[in-house]
Amino acid sequence: MTIETRDPDVTQETPAVEAETTTPVPATTAVGLERPEFPIVRLAIVAALPTLAAAVMTGGLFIGAGGRIWAGIAGVLGVLLAVRARQVRRSGLLFGIVIVGIVLIGLIAVVPTGFSNIFNLGTQMRQAVQQSDVLRPPVDFAPGWHAILAWIMAVVGFAAAWIAVEMERPAFGILVTLPVIGLGSISLPDNQKLATGLVALVLLVLSLAVLSGAQGQDEEGRGVSLAFELRRAVRALPIIAIVTILLYFAARSSFLFPKPIYDPAQQAKLPKSIPLSQVKDRVLFTVDAKFNGPWKMGSLDVYDGKDWRLPPFAQSSLKEVPSSGIVDKHLSPAVRASFTIQGLEGAILPDLPNTVGLVAVGPTLAFDARNGNVRVTQGQVKPGFSYIVAGSATPTVNALRAADLSVPKAYKQFLKIPPEPPAVQGLIQQAGNKKGWDLVDFLREKLLHTVTASGAGTPVSVTPAKVQDMLAGSKEGTPFQIVAGEAMLARWAGVPSRIGYGFDGGDPGPGGTLQVRPKNGALFLEVFFKDYGWLPVIGDPLQAKQNLSSNPQQTNPSVVISQNIGVQLFLPILTESKPTFFEQFRAFALRTVPILLLLLLIYYLWPLPYKAFRRARRRTWAAEEGPGARVALAYAEWRDYATDYGYKHESDTPLMFLRHVVPDEEHSELAWLVTRSLWGDMRSDVTPDDALAAEEMSRSLRRRLSQAQPISMRLVAKLSRLSVRRPYAPGLDTAAKTEGRRDREEEYVLT
């Protein structure tokens, strides 16, 4: 039978109770007509194509083609899982199949990396997430990313296919993939955005074309032939090609993407330091060389009148190291050092201050001619990676005195400095005719002999007024302020300068190597001379305040304790700054979002245990009360079940409710049995057999009503609160709560 609305003009779709049969029961409309069967294969293709577009985008965040391949495989498997799972009728079994299927898809993606990785997948995933916090895409496609990416794409593919196939809303299935495509496009490397975006666009267009063919079916499932659609697609290929080419050239111009008013890549960043007390002591790398450093990691070369900043990323001169290994043809190699990475993380490798060439086998390396650092072009450096760096010779003092003091145009930016304070003016006058290296050396020696190191080496603002204070005021400064003061004095002397950072020295290791640890972090002055390039100048103040804390520090035996009680000197490790707000928001989200999700899950799922509890309590009461109560409860359960599907009619008696459905023998028999048992001639003669018959008919009606509905409607009905808020027979709940104290002869009120 079919439940119909009371008003014949209403076209609202209603649930159906079909006769039990061994074949699947088609859904029906309010007038009893079967819905047209949509082409399942086409709808699955409609969902699969945008899922592949999302896979192309997200897979591009990883090195190599493996990310795109496994993202596509996982997405397609998710689509197939949805198509197969829709045939399952039991909701509990459906949930289990979906969850197990998605988990298996992720594990299948991990197997090619090594079967043992499945057993330590949690560790692999944590390492992958930590890697994403410090690296720019593309990153290594580690085992942890295999699982994460596969699960994400499996969920996307399943959701798109379920909405398209089961809910018959293919357009909404396409929309599910768009956020993933958008997020992937934002994070892609610049050199991949255009090509990847065009591929994703073509896949989306194809999906819309297939959707158009699927929606062209008539009520009997007939439509245009496949041959016609293929011919139409072939005719459309030239148009798609022309549009793609136009988009390609438009994207390369500033028409679609005009240059931003504010470009973060053009902005110099403030450095961020990590004190030794917060760094795990470990061997970062080993060095085999005939000298003790320094081992450079980068430089601060932008001074804005207040702060020393990292060079803008867009202004870097980053180029891949050529096959010859030579990165600076103007200098001659004279020294060399062999580096082996141990516990160092990130993409930047230590090298020499004036690198001439590199020799390495393994990942592709790039050299930044502006700040002189070496980095891997993709991913991060791996432990055990070894390479050799050749550097130029350090000139003698006499050679520096005779050096050409002219400054090339490209290096004049490293002379920008506000006017010098009075103390510096006095020192320059005191230097007389000194210039170039002699003047720089004179000024820095005066500073190092005057200032006392005090406090941690955290990067802070250093203004000309602070240099005045270090020379003629408090005569104290942190290690960072002292090195920054040296760089500022060099610029006032007319010599390009900057602050180099990295490591200096190390602990003795096996085979005469040096083991460099976080405590060996160092800041040092770098000055530029046209004939010799950037030269490191390392020096320490003669005095430092003593530190009475037990925190780890870098010590220098040549620096004596000041008579003015202070701290021992330690220098920072400079890292790329991270947004503080993002870190705070992420920590807050990680704590609160799981709790909110749990509360939301409880809110939506609480009708399930409540209905089970109410049903058990009612049946216990009815068994104690007798056959009449069992008949009343059997019918009430059927009406509550119909209420959860949206058909309440709570004021209708069993016979009145028959008017809302097409004739059905079993339903009519139940309605008359309930009426006669509770209000008619059988009121005092209800037998256990009558009660058993009512329970069986009620169970059959509920089962048939459920089978006539799609899975989505069944899930909604199970979580529905309609029968909880407005039960058909609230008197049964009252009676059950009083544990059957009502008189057996009392009428069982159903409305």
Q: What is the mean pLDDT of each run of 10 residues along the chain (751 residues)?
A: 40 40 36 47 86 87 85 92 84 85 90 85 78 64 87 92 85 85 73 76 80 56 58 68 66 53 56 64 89 86 87 74 84 88 85 87 83 79 88 85 86 90 90 88 88 77 90 86 90 91 87 87 88 82 49 47 39 48 69 83 85 87 89 90 81 85 85 89 88 91 84 82 86 69 46 44
- What is the rounded CA–CA span in Å between residue 333 and residue 324? 14
- Indicate whether 646 and 551 sit together in one domain: no
pLDDT of 198: 78
- What is the rounded CA–CA span in Å between residue 175 and residue 553? 55
For residue 466, tell me if it sits in a domain. Answer: yes
- What is the rounded CA–CA span in Å between residue 327 and residue 320? 9
- Indicate whether 569 and 624 sit together in one domain: no
- What is the rounded CA–CA span in Å between residue 645 and residue 351? 71
Instruction: Among 173, 192, 217, give the residue marking a domain's end.
Output: 217
Q: Give the count of domains, the chain.
A: 3
- Indicate whether 434 and 571 sit together in one domain: yes
pLDDT of 492: 92
For residue 582, tell me if it sits in a domain. Answer: no
3-class SS of residue 653: coil
Contact 188, 57 (CB under 8 A): yes
- Indicate whether 289 and 168 sit together in one domain: no
- Indicate whether 525 and 456 sit together in one domain: yes
Contact 514, 473 (CB under 8 A): no
Q: Which residues contact 729 (CB under 8 A, 6 or more apart)?
A: 632, 633, 636, 639, 748, 749, 750, 751
- Indicate whether 630 and 677 sit together in one domain: yes
For residue 432, tell me if it sits in a domain. Answer: yes
For residue 64, tell me if it sits in a domain. Answer: yes
For residue 743, tell me if it sits in a domain. Answer: no
Instruction: Among 190, 217, 244, give the residue marking a domain's end.
Output: 217
- Indicate whether 497 and 608 sit together in one domain: no
- Indicate whether 382 and 498 sit together in one domain: yes
For residue 342, tell me if it sits in a domain. Answer: yes
- Indicate whether 51 and 168 sit together in one domain: yes
- What is the rounded CA–CA span in Å between residue 586 and residue 577? 16
Residues 104, 106, 109: CA angle, nearest 5 degrees = 110
- What is the rounded CA–CA span in Å between residue 202 and residue 236? 12
Instruction: Among 217, 242, 257, give the residue marking a domain's end.
Output: 217
Choose among 631, 610, 605: nearest CA to 732.
631
pLDDT of 135: 58
Torsion angles phi and psi, residue 552, rounded to 5: -60, 140
pLDDT of 229: 62
Range of the domain at 71: 40-217
- Indicate whether 543 and 681 sit together in one domain: no
For residue 259, tell me if it sits in a domain. Answer: no
- 738 burial (CB, 10 Å; 0-12 / 13-18 / 19+) is exposed
- Indicate whether 69 and 166 sit together in one domain: yes
For residue 525, tell me if it sits in a domain. Answer: yes
pTM of the model: 0.48
- Indicate whether 608 and 476 sit together in one domain: no
